[in-house]
Amino acid sequence: MPDLDIEFTLEYPYTRTTGPVLGPFLTGLRDGRILGVRCGSRVLCPPLEYDPDTFATLDPDFVEVGPGGVVTGWTWVSSPTTKHPFDHPFAFALIRLDGADTPIAHAVDAGSPDAVSTGMRVVARYRGERVGAITDVYFVPEASAGPAQVIEPGTEPVRLTTHLIGLQISEPLQPARKRFALGLLDGKIIGQRSPATGKVYVPSRGYDHMARVEMTEADDVEIPALGAVSSFTVITPVRYYGQMETEPYIRASILLDGADSPIYGVDVRDTPVEAFRVGLRVRAVWRPVGERDVTGFDNRQGGNWEQVIERWEPTGEPDVDPARLQEYVF
């Protein structure tokens, strides 16, 4: 049996404007300086656009702080995540930089928890490659810091910052979904008939969402790979992060014979847009057994049908009256 565990990375690329306070702060980090902001008699670092007690807007008045400071709280990260600044154990600490009144949360590369204590002095170290981000800098124990770094400042102020977030997801296909995927490898489309309403759902979510009834393997039914187009759209690709498409293409919903829910997101590349229409009768042309791939199916409702079904060809039968398909658009 093939491995049907799902592994994917959900990515969102964020681009943010930096504003009048964090802009200079991040520019400073790129250029090897740490800036705090005056707030009454205090200096805040990291700097804020507002007074944290009164929430009044601050007129930015920057003060260079650090590069040394005192640890006011810490923990030893024995098992770093893939998102941490180091792939080896390190300390996360609150550090009150010299000249600042509030501590900043940051990473201390100390080698061992025995080298870290509250009250110890640390000093900033800068990465070789700096982009104007909080990750441009980290801290080391002052006692073991090397010689002072020479930092070449950049030219333009940092007005934008990017942060690509990526969430690693791994889970097994859910039971009904797994039987459906295995069916596809076998050239069968498996749905489920609701014991409550008799409606046939394909692919099934494992339950009847209208009657709130769970379904089991005993409710599985095979559906013919034959049906009628119930809806479609022509997608003209626009550029965005992760977009692979360049040419217009059709995405269709198909109501399979005997089913009460359409399959959707079906990729149509070989029928001309002019000849494609709601009501058109189509049948699946399966990919050869060894070429079927269900890894595009996850626990969502859609999936990459084109990886198991090469194309949907018109059967030549008379069209189904589109009015009969109105309830099966999506």
Is residue 114 within 8 Å of residue 122, measured between CB atoms?
A: no
210 binding other proteins? (CB under 8 A): yes
Residues 297-326 that bind other proteins (CB under 8 A): 299-301
CB of 190 to other proteins, least distance (A): 17
CB nearer other proteins, residue 171 or residue 222 = 171
> What three-state secondary structure class fits 176?
helix
Does residue 207 interact with other proteins by CB under 8 A? yes
Q: Is 20 in the site for other proteins (CB under 8 A)?
A: no
Binding of other proteins by 268 (CB under 8 A): no
**Interface with other proteins (CB under 8 A), residue from 169, 196, 235, 273:** 169
To the nearest whole angstrom, how small is the minimum distance from the Cβ of residue 54 to other proteins? 13
Of the candidates 142, 112, 105, which has an alpha carbon nearest to the alpha carbon of residue 125?
A: 142
CB of 246 to other proteins, least distance (A): 24
> Which H helix or E strand runs over 166?
strand 160-172
HSE on the CB side for 66, CA within 13 Å? Answer: 32
Copy the structure tokens of residue 163: 């942060």
Question: Taking CB under 8 A as the rule, does residue 175 contact other proteins?
Answer: yes
**Binder of other proteins out of 143, 160, 167, 329 (CB under 8 A):** 167
Task: Extract the runs of DSSP E, i.e. beta strands, from 175-218.
Answer: 189-193, 200-201, 207-208, 213-214
Q: How many CA atoms lie within 13 A of 174 on its CB side?
A: 13
Rounded CA gap, 178 and 187, in Å? Answer: 14
Measured from the CB atom, is 32 or 227 closer to other proteins? Answer: 32
The DSSP result for 228-239, as a single string, is EEEEEEEE----
The reply on whether position 46 binds other proteins by CB under 8 A is yes
Give the list of residues 6+ apart from residue 69 with CB closer than 8 angstroms, or none: 95, 96, 97, 98, 100, 103, 121, 122, 123, 139
Q: Which of 4, 63, 133, 185 binds other proteins (CB under 8 A)?
A: 133
The DSSP output letter for 141 is E
Identify the DSSP state of 146.
Answer: -
Q: Which tokens hold the place of 14?
A: 């964020």
- Binding of other proteins at residue 159 (CB under 8 A)? no
User: Per CB under 8 A, does 16 bind other proteins?
Assistant: yes
Q: Among residue numbers 60 through 99, which ones bind other proteins (CB under 8 A)? A: 73-79, 81-85, 92-94, 96
Residues that bind other proteins (CB under 8 A): 6, 8, 10, 14, 16, 18, 22, 25-26, 46, 48, 52, 73-79, 81-85, 92-94, 96, 102-107, 113, 118, 133-135, 161, 163, 165, 167-172, 174-175, 205-207, 209-210, 212, 214, 299-301
